[in-house]
Structure 1
């Protein structure tokens, strides 16, 4: 376990703490306790059950704290601040191994404002979260006297007793359960005491396995999940075989036809019926329109693909999902550290295609994705501030994110751009580029780039849509996603399917003598993200019970970011595979 830092500290400290997440105070560093040593019970957040992301500080409800001396706590990592973690000391006196019989720790008198606050929480099924030795526990605020009641009168109850059952193995805590008991009626002027008790028991659970109880293998390892992986794998085998067979047979015929044409004299060749992808050899490597944007998208796509693969592999071996905020912290660190990948691929592509304003392209590449993410997050932040939600990002976190972008991501992207321009920035196209663009002939409607783009994402989406359900459920419902081996396999399948589909689409486009393949291949592969976003709309309407402006904005805002990121990765991989294919076929055919 490593060091933790405040989000308002300097950037290097922020990155260090983000890369080495640990615990907060005292023995939570090592999770080892001596007999009678204090165990801190943190109160985190409270919020409606059906809106998981709409959370508020625990003491935003008129709960009272225990009499134990307060312990100061700061956001431990940048990711905790971004995720709305609001740890406050509960004031409960808990010592390792010491049983606490039921006893009162505080009391409140319900005035009208407090009664209304609790009644609103009960009516909307509010739950709260606490942490004991970094293990989360949940409890429900209260219940309605009548299930059909509105909860705004004297028909609601709140639970006033917390029973902690803590399991230990040696000198470490391996299990925590919280049970809410003893309901008290909500009535103006009522005196409500809050009580708690702590029970300790020996457990055979290993410390390394203590997080397993929060996982749901019956859900994630259901036979439908296995079947979807098998189905996607069979799709890959079929698609790769089909593409290889069709293209190899077709290309062999093309090569034979073009070789025959080489044996004809000039008059016979002029009278011949020449057609196909060879005819656009002088334009197929022409620089794309909006070159700076295109190369920036490609560089960002390579960067995101690298980050995604690295984080998945680290999570498989490091089980980052067991540590609060570790997954996001690691993602932020890896994204910043691998910024040269963005500059290298984007800068080299821009240079090879004759781009001259490379600083503009480098700035666009460095800030394209951070601007999208920060812009969306800050917009949602205004709504969170209006709701006084814990998701509201503090000003110190905004400054830290800005500093990371300016002082870490930008310089590393500059280094990558310089390396890319010097090591891989020279044009190396197998064909000369004509001075005057060749006119694009008319073709059938289904061969137009727009139609190809719309159809290109169907098969890639079909290979992942089952996995999308499990990922959405883990993020928007009360599930913890832990089957990252499945995710890695599905990600590889997605990339293979995307490349195969994009190559086929590009071949048909070039065979129709349309040389606008660069943007078409990128957008055809990236269109997978549009189908994912449409599926997210279906999921929101039919699979969730979310409501309210905050949760709706949060859902669709971050699902848009997720879809954009997926589109950048698919588009980049599709373009890269297609580029290798195009270079291969034009370098094989002899062209005068």
Structure 2
């Protein structure tokens, strides 16, 4: 009876835990009260955290401490997930601490003194100003934004603000120096050593929770040359850093904070003012409509082939009884004895398809979870963490698909197949990633992955992914070979001379144009989020474009595959993979165009890093799109030859 009661109690507790409400990890609201009224559920102290500093002119991010800013005496780092480490985020506590609803004006944080002799720290700050490095601050898991006016009276809220600005020797004002006419001295750097912080809160009146909740955090960077530590002046002239330091320079950092009540903004929608200031929603809808038109066009073409041309051909072929008529056969029917002849380099093709299947499932699940809100920008690093964990756990389908296809191709080197599936593509990506990491280590960048994390990634790869790949391959080789609807002749049929458009290379090049046309606008925003440090949140659009990409790759590959079969060219295995996989080549070309036309990246290291990471993106996208096209074409070929009568 005791065991039975314990089991019943466990079931009840499990049921209660399943039915209770929950917040997504890292997204639970925090209530704040005035100083002296704090409780376990209501805090009075507000902490400001700082993240890495980055720039649109350099791929190298740096930690906050690298620039000799004010440090927290009791510095601590919140726990970071795998995605944050891989993205190079380095969040740490700061000396900016204040109490809820307690306004403060021109309060000093710390001071730094630089001597006229060679000072590497000051030179590093000046280099950061020259490359327009940006602060990224966080309050209550929400970015502290800098909102400023742009063209047509619109306001743009950036999740970062610059270290400072500079005026060139010729008097040309650069970057943020345009915000004030006081920044006018030639060949001079101006340091933003003061911030006016405004925190907006919802008081909680009429709500079912105690205390107030923060709904916005904005700041305005300022530059003041304070007379001394004991005599701060937040209306003084800007803090100038000359090109050549001839005397002692003292930099005093300060801040002001103001609290404002606004009960019209709900806590759940506190990110809206940041996202709404980012344009391009209309462009997104235009991209979707453009992609849908392409899909409808391809669907009409495929439907015409399937319902009219193909149906007519099958009916005519199946009505042939006399041998004289049989000699008049032409087109795709003539190659039925060679259509399922194993391809050359079948081992490599099966490995690519196994890895492509793994990437496809990983991408689908990740985007689906992102649409549900589990991978929102507020949950930092969750997107990359989810992708890496899913990839590691999906070794089984990769091994199964690779082994099953390799066995169908008549391959016998099963050990080599399994090892290549588990190690080839991940090994290329890891080698590229490791080389990039060496460059980041040498430059002292915060994006450099710690050695312990690299060991952890290798442990996940060899300890989880590789065994799961072997398990999937075991079941794949255990299954029977895939049966095909027609037999393969012993002697290969000679392929007639092909026209220009039915030759392999032109067909492959044409095959990637339409899928790329469906994604290139979305690709622009993705590249902006990666290299221009803009916030990406339109996962609904991205998932819709993902589905459109699947359909477009499938239909374009089927269409070209049918044309090639009609030209009596039965080498469709590799061609179907490369036709849709060539979309990745257009992606790489667009990334090159983006680098030279949109970015202002300078320096050899940053250029190598950009193209190194672009190659990783190219390889993943090549495997992904190639696999889609292959399986679509494989289904199409089996479908049409399964209804043809073969004597």
Do the two structures share a fold, i.e. TM-score over 0.5? yes
CA distance in 1: counterparts of 2:577 and 2:67, whole angstroms: 50
Question: Does the 8 A contact of 1:503 with 1:577 survive in 2?
Answer: yes
Question: Does the 8 A contact of 2:298 with 2:555 survive in 1?
Answer: yes
Residue matched to 1:202: 261
User: Structure 1 residues 461 and 29 mapped into 2: Cα distance closer, same or farther (>3 Å)?
Assistant: closer
CA distance in 2: counterparts of 1:452 and 1:145, whole angstroms: 53
Secondary structure, counterpart of 1:91 in structure 2:
strand
Question: Does the 8 A contact of 1:353 with 1:427 survive in 2?
Answer: no
Q: Any residues of structure 2 matched to 1:102-251 within 5 Å, and which? A: 102-111=106-115, 112-113=118-119, 114-137=121-144, 138-145=160-167, 147-148=171-172, 155-169=188-202, 170-181=211-222, 182=224, 183-186=238-241, 188=245, 189-204=248-263, 205-216=265-276, 219-222=279-282, 224-251=283-310
Secondary structure, counterpart of 1:186 in structure 2:
strand
Moved more, 318-327 or 577-586: 318-327
CA distance in 2: counterparts of 1:242 and 1:73, whole angstroms: 57
Moved more, 512-521 or 183-192: 183-192
Deviation, structure 1 residue 133: 2.2
Question: Does the 8 A contact of 1:430 with 1:587 survive in 2?
Answer: yes
Question: Does the 8 A contact of 2:56 with 2:600 survive in 1?
Answer: no
CA distance in 1: counterparts of 2:496 and 2:475, whole angstroms: 40
Deviation, structure 1 residue 230: 1.2
Deviation, structure 1 residue 29: 7.3
Deviation, structure 1 residue 333: 1.9
Deviation, structure 1 residue 398: 0.5
Question: Does the 8 A contact of 1:73 with 1:87 survive in 2?
Answer: yes
CA distance in 1: counterparts of 2:278 and 2:97, whole angstroms: 37
Secondary structure, counterpart of 2:411 in structure 1:
coil
CA distance in 2: counterparts of 1:218 and 1:74, whole angstroms: 29
Deviation, structure 1 residue 157: 1.8
> What is the number of residues matched between the two proteins?
560
CA distance in 1: counterparts of 2:32 and 2:400, whole angstroms: 49
CA distance in 1: counterparts of 2:353 and 2:185, whole angstroms: 55
Residue matched to 1:62: 68
Secondary structure, counterpart of 1:31 in structure 2:
coil
Are 1:294 and 2:349 counterparts? yes
CA distance in 1: counterparts of 2:626 and 2:173, whole angstroms: 52
Deviation, structure 1 residue 260: 4.3
Question: Does the 8 A contact of 1:167 with 1:200 survive in 2?
Answer: yes
Are 1:535 and 2:551 counterparts? no
Are 1:86 and 2:103 counterparts? no
Residue matched to 1:339: 395
Deviation, structure 1 residue 530: 0.7
Residue matched to 2:421: 365
Residue matched to 1:326: 382
CA distance in 2: counterparts of 1:427 and 1:120, whole angstroms: 62
Residue matched to 1:523: 578
CA distance in 2: counterparts of 1:49 and 1:304, whole angstroms: 29
Are 1:264 and 2:322 counterparts? yes
CA deviations 1:273-331 (Å, max 9, x no partner) are 43322222222112222222111111211221111111111111125222111111111
Deviation, structure 1 residue 521: 0.6
User: Structure 1 residues 314 and 84 mapped into 2: Cα distance closer, same or farther (>3 Å)?
Assistant: same
Higher helix share: 1
Structure 2: gaps of 5 or more residues = 1-22, 36-43, 145-159, 175-183, 203-210, 225-237
Secondary structure, counterpart of 1:328 in structure 2:
helix
Are 1:378 and 2:434 counterparts? yes
CA distance in 1: counterparts of 2:34 and 2:75, whole angstroms: 20
Question: Does the 8 A contact of 1:521 with 1:574 survive in 2?
Answer: yes
CA distance in 1: counterparts of 2:24 and 2:123, whole angstroms: 39
User: Structure 1 residues 570 and 165 mapped into 2: Cα distance closer, same or farther (>3 Å)?
Assistant: same
Normalising by structure 2, we get a TM-score of 0.81
Across the aligned residues of Structure 1 and Structure 2, the Cα RMSD in angstroms comes to 2.5
Secondary structure, counterpart of 2:70 in structure 1:
coil
Deviation, structure 1 residue 572: 1.0
Question: Does the 8 A contact of 1:75 with 1:85 survive in 2?
Answer: no
CA deviations 1:38-80 (Å, max 9, x no partner) are 33322222243433x42111121122325xx413326511111
CA distance in 1: counterparts of 2:290 and 2:167, whole angstroms: 49
CA distance in 1: counterparts of 2:187 and 2:286, whole angstroms: 51
CA distance in 1: counterparts of 2:273 and 2:31, whole angstroms: 20
Residue matched to 1:10: none
The partner residue of 2:405 within 339, 343, 349 is 349
Secondary structure, counterpart of 1:92 in structure 2:
strand
CA distance in 2: counterparts of 1:74 and 1:103, whole angstroms: 26
Question: Does the 8 A contact of 1:106 with 1:195 survive in 2?
Answer: yes
Question: Does the 8 A contact of 2:56 with 2:532 survive in 1?
Answer: no
Question: Does the 8 A contact of 1:302 with 1:341 survive in 2?
Answer: yes
Secondary structure, counterpart of 1:208 in structure 2:
helix
Question: Does the 8 A contact of 1:166 with 1:173 survive in 2?
Answer: yes
Deviation, structure 1 residue 152: 12
Secondary structure, counterpart of 1:588 in structure 2:
coil
CA deviations 1:534-563 (Å, max 9, x no partner) are 111112211222222232222222222222
Moved more, 114-123 or 371-380: 114-123
Question: Does the 8 A contact of 1:65 with 1:92 survive in 2?
Answer: no
CA deviations 1:155-211 (Å, max 9, x no partner) are 222122123222233443322122222231225312221112332222333222222
Deviation, structure 1 residue 351: 2.2
User: Structure 1 residues 208 and 499 mapped into 2: Cα distance closer, same or farther (>3 Å)?
Assistant: same
User: Structure 1 residues 275 and 145 mapped into 2: Cα distance closer, same or farther (>3 Å)?
Assistant: closer
The partner residue of 2:627 within 547, 553, 572 is 572
CA distance in 2: counterparts of 1:178 and 1:217, whole angstroms: 16
Normalising by structure 1, we get a TM-score of 0.88
CA distance in 2: counterparts of 1:377 and 1:441, whole angstroms: 45
Question: Does the 8 A contact of 1:216 with 1:480 survive in 2?
Answer: no
Moved more, 455-464 or 113-122: 113-122
